[in-house]
Amino acid sequence: MSSNIYSVGLNHVGAYQVSGVPFITGSTDTLTNTNDDLRFQFPNVTKSITFKNNHNSQAVNVHFAPWLAGDYDYTYGASTNNNYIEVDGGHDVTLQVKCREVFISSTTNSQTLDFEIIAELTNIPAARMFSLDGVEGVAQ
Amino acid sequence: MTFKYNVGLQNVGSYQVSGRPWCKHFATTAGSVEYVSFPNVTESLWAHFDDHSSGHEIQLCFAEPKTGMDMPNDQEYFETTNLTGKNLTEWTVGFWVKGVSLGGRLIEFTDKTSIVVATPTSLRLAVENGVKGVGTISNSDDWNFVTLSVGASNTSLYWNGQDILNVSVAKSAPAGELFIGTYRPTVNFDGFYDDMSLFAVALNDDEVYEMYQKSNRLSSLQTHSRADDLVSFWDFESNLYKNYVSNPDDGRNVYDRISDHDLSWNAGGSAAPADATYALGSVSGRALRNHSISLTGHAEIHLPFKTTGIIYSSSNIDEFSLFASLTSIPTSRMYELAGPGIDE
C-alpha cells in the first residue's frame, strides 16, 4: 500500500483533540558548565510535554531554543533574554505547547542531570512547525 | 507573505490546538512590580516561584496597568478642547491627583473664572480671581479625588468626596477651556493627574460622593444619578496624547504619561474607589483587593486564562519562571481585563 502523500497541518484542531502518541526520553548526562545544553528533537509536533526532574535537589533549565546564540543554526539564544523556565529538583511540569524540539541546560557547573521528558505527539510532521528562532519569548 | 486576516478572540480552534511557547525567567528585586506583556493572547500560563529564603512571596494579578498624567515641571498643563462656547452656568469637575508636594495650581479656567490653588495641607479656592477660602486636606502625597462644584450662587470644594469648603458667591458662566496643571511661569505642580470628569450641573454633596465612587471608569460614571449631565471624561490613557501641551508658544505636544512601571491603578470596588498606587508587594495592596495569587517557597501554578499580560510583584530578591502557551490570536483582539475578580 502506498503511503498517504498528504499530512495534516499545524492548525488542524483534531490533531490536538485526540490523544497523542507517547514519546519518552531523558538524560543522566553531566553538563560541564551552564552554557552547555542538551537538544531533544521530536519526530512530530508536540501536543504537550512533561518535564520531570528526578534529581533530589538541583533544578534544570528548560527552553525552546539553544542556550547560546549561534548554536544549532539558531541566530538567537534562550539566554540572551532569559527565555527559559526552571524546574526544581523533585518536581515536574506539563506544558501544553506545540514545538519540534526542546533544550535542557544545567543551573550549575558540572551538574549531573536526572530528568525525563514525556511528550504527547500529534500526527503533524515536525516539518510543519515554524521555526522559533528569533521569536519573542523563545529566543529574542 | 503576511496575512490580511487573523483569528478572533472566540475562535475555538485557536485554543484547542496547542499554543506556541513563550517563556522567561525573572530575577526579582525588593518591591519590584512589573507588567509582563505577551505578543499574542495566551491559552494558558504556568508560573513557578523560586524562593531564595524562607517566607518570601510573589504575587500575580491580571489587572491591567493604567496611565495617568505626569506634570513635574513649570508650565505643563492639560487643556480641554471642547468647552469653548458651552454655556456652563453650573458645573462640577472632579479629578484624581497625586502630588509629592502640593504647591502649585491645580486647575483653572482660561479667564481665571475659577482657580484651585494648593499648599501641602490645604486647597485655596478662588472664584473669578478672588480668593474665597481655604479647605484643609490630608495625605496629599497619595492619590486623592478633588471635586469643585460651582453653582449660580454657591461654590463647594471636596476632598475625596467630603466637603471641605463652601462659599457663597455670585459668578458668571466661565469662558474658554479648562486647564489642569498650569501655563503660568514659576507656578509648578509636581505630581500626577488621572480620570477627570466634568458635569454641566452643580452636584450636591451626595452626588459628589457618588462621583467620587464612580470616578475611575467611564462605564461607572454613566451609571451616575446625574449621568445625563456628564459632559466629558478624560482617562489620560494613550488616546489623549493630542491634548498634552507643554509650551503654548511653540504648540508642541508632550506625552507626559506616567511611565510603564510607575503606574496608577484602578482600585475599584465601593470600599476602595480610589485610583490608588497599587503596590502589590505591600500588605496594604493585598488587603485592599485580594485579587492576586500568592506563591511562596517553590510553588507553581497553572492558570488556564486568556490574557495579554500579567503583573508580578515581589518584595524580595528571588527568581520567578513564567511560561505561556500562546494562541495565534493578536493581542489587539483582546479586551481589557477589568471588573470583579480583576480590579474590583
A-facing residues of B in 265-304 (CB < 8 A) are 298, 300
CB contact under 8 A, B44 and A138: no
The reply to whether domains B19-63+278-333 and B70-245 share a CATH topology is yes
Q: Lowest-confidence range among A40-49, A80-89, B105-114, B244-253?
A: B244-253
Residue from B251, B258, B160, B252 nearest B209 by CA? B160
To the nearest whole Å, the CA of B301 is away from the closest chain A CA by: 9
Q: Which residues pair with B2 in a beta bridge?
A: none
CB B148, CB B93: distance < 8 Å: yes
CB B123, CB B157: distance < 8 Å: yes
CB contact under 8 A, A135 and B20: yes
Beta-carbon contacts of B242 under 8 Å, excluding residues fewer than 6 positions away, are B253
The Cα-based distances of B25 to A90, B147, B292, B319 in angstroms read 19, 45, 20, 7
Exposed/middle/buried for residue B53 (C-beta within 10 Å: 0-12, 13-18, 19+): exposed
Q: How confident is the model at residue B42 (pLDDT cuts 50, 70, 90)?
A: very high
User: What is the number of alpha carbons within 13 Å of residue B319 lying toward its C-beta?
Assistant: 15
Burial code (b: 16+ CB inside 10 Å, e: under 16) for B304-340 equals eebbbbbbbbbbbebbbbbbbbbbbbeeebbeebbee
CB contact under 8 A, B25 and A87: no
The separation between the first and the last C-alpha atoms of chain A, rounded to the nearest angstrom, is 45
**Joined grid coordinates for residue B6:** 487573523
Over residues A31-71, the pLDDT tens digits come to 999 999 999 999 999 999 999 999 989 999 999 999 999 99
The CATH code of the domain that includes A111 is 2.60.120.770
User: What is the number of alpha carbons within 13 Å of residue B331 lying toward its C-beta?
Assistant: 12
State yes or no: pLDDT of A16 exceeds 80. Answer: yes
Burial code (b: 16+ CB inside 10 Å, e: under 16) for B261-287 equals eebbbbbbeeeebbbbbbbbbbeebbe
Q: Does A87 touch chain B (CB under 8 A)?
A: yes
Burial code (b: 16+ CB inside 10 Å, e: under 16) for A11-39 equals bbeebbeeebeebeebbeeebeebebbbe
Q: Residue A43 belongs to what domain range?
A: 13-126
Least CB-CB distance to A11: which of B13, B46, B300? B13
- Of A32-46, B25-39, B173-187, give the range with the top mean pLDDT: A32-46
Residue from B326, B230, B14 nearest A16 by CA? B14
Asked whether the ipTM of the predicted complex exceeds the cut of 0.85, the reply is no
B-facing residues of A in 19-78 (CB < 8 A) are 45-48, 59, 61-64
What backbone torsions phi and psi does residue B35 show, to the nearest 5 degrees? -95, 120
Q: Does B324 touch chain A (CB under 8 A)?
A: yes
State yes or no: pLDDT of B17 exceeds 80. Answer: yes
**Joined grid coordinates for residue B99:** 502630588
Q: Does B322 touch chain A (CB under 8 A)?
A: yes
What backbone torsions phi and psi does residue B310 show, to the nearest 5 degrees? -145, 150
Q: Which residues pair with B320 in a beta bridge?
A: B26, B49
Which fold would CATH assign to domain B70-245?
Jelly Rolls (2.60.120)
**Test mutation, B23, B40, B308, B328, chain A, max A CBs within 10 A:** B23
> Residue B38's closest chain A neighbor by CA?
A137
Number of domains into which chain A is organized: 1
- Please give the Cα distance from B13 to B7 (Å, whole number): 9
> Residue A17's closest chain B neighbor by CA?
B16
Between these two residues, B221 and B224, which has the higher pLDDT value? B224
Q: How confident is the model at residue A120 (pLDDT cuts 50, 70, 90)?
A: very high
Residue from B175, B172, B212, B176 nearest B196 by CA? B212
pLDDT value of position A31: 92
State yes or no: pLDDT of B258 exceeds 60. Answer: no
Mean pLDDT of B274-295: 45
Mean pLDDT of B265-272: 29
pLDDT value of position A63: 97
The Cα-based distances of B70 to B100, B191, B236, B254, B264 in angstroms read 12, 6, 10, 10, 11
CB contact under 8 A, A85 and B325: no
| Chain A residues lying within 8 Å of B52, measured CB to CB | none
CB contact under 8 A, B21 and A132: yes
CATH class of B19-63+278-333: mainly beta
Helix/strand/coil for B245: strand
CB B65, CB B35: distance < 8 Å: yes
Q: How confident is the model at residue B222 (pLDDT cuts 50, 70, 90)?
A: confident
Between these two residues, A131 and B31, which has the higher pLDDT value? A131
Enumerate the domain spans of chain B.
19-63+278-333, 70-245
Beta-carbon contacts of B266 under 8 Å, excluding residues fewer than 6 positions away, are B63, B66, B216, B217, B275, B338, B343
> Residue B51's closest chain A neighbor by CA?
A88
CB contact under 8 A, A84 and B326: no
Sequence letter at residue A18: V
Q: How confident is the model at residue B64 (pLDDT cuts 50, 70, 90)?
A: low
Residue from A20, A28, A25, A19 nearest A117 by CA? A25
Least CB-CB distance to B300: which of A12, A93, A96? A93
**Joined grid coordinates for residue B338:** 477589568
To the nearest whole Å, the CA of B58 is away from the closest chain A CA by: 16
Mean pLDDT of B83-95: 80
- Please give the Cα distance from A51 to B21 (Å, whole number): 14
Q: Does B48 touch chain A (CB under 8 A)?
A: yes
Q: Which residues pair with B117 in a beta bridge?
A: B105, B124
**Helical (H) or strand (E) element with B164:** strand B162-168
State yes or no: pLDDT of B273 exceeds 80. Answer: no
Over residues B106-146, the pLDDT tens digits come to 776 665 555 555 566 777 777 766 777 777 877 666 677 88
Average pLDDT value over all residues in chain A:
92
Q: How confident is the model at residue B243 (pLDDT cuts 50, 70, 90)?
A: very low
CB contact under 8 A, B18 and A46: yes
Residue A3 domain flag: no
Least CB-CB distance to B25: which of A10, A15, A86? A86
Beta-carbon contacts of B108 under 8 Å, excluding residues fewer than 6 positions away, are B114, B115, B116, B178, B179, B182
Q: Does B46 touch chain A (CB under 8 A)?
A: yes
| Chain B residues lying within 8 Å of A63, measured CB to CB | 23
